[in-house]
Structure 1
Amino acid sequence: MPYTTDEGGLLNNFAREPKIYQSEPATASQKRNLLIVAVVACVLVGGLIAVAFSVS
Structure 2
Amino acid sequence: MRYTKDEDGRINNFAVEPKMYSAEPPNSQEQRNYIILGVVAAALVGGLIAIAAVVS
**Mapping of residues 22-33 of structure 1, within 5 Å:** 22-33=22-33
TM-score, with structure 2 as normaliser: 0.91
Give the ranges of 4+ consecutive aligned residues of structure 1 lying more than 2 Å apart after TM superposition. Answer: none
For residue 25 of structure 1, report the CA deviation from its aligned partner: 1.4
TM-score, with structure 1 as normaliser: 0.91
For residue 3 of structure 1, report the CA deviation from its aligned partner: 1.5
Corresponding residue of 2:45: 45
For residue 24 of structure 1, report the CA deviation from its aligned partner: 1.1
- SS of the counterpart of 1:20? coil
Unpaired segments ≥5 residues, structure 2: none
Aligned-residue identity in percent: 57
Unpaired segments ≥5 residues, structure 1: none
**Greater relative contact order (Cα < 8 A, sep 6+):** 1
1:1-56 CA distance string (max 9 Å, x none): 32111111111111111100111111000000000110000000001111111111
Output the aligned Cα RMSD: 0.9
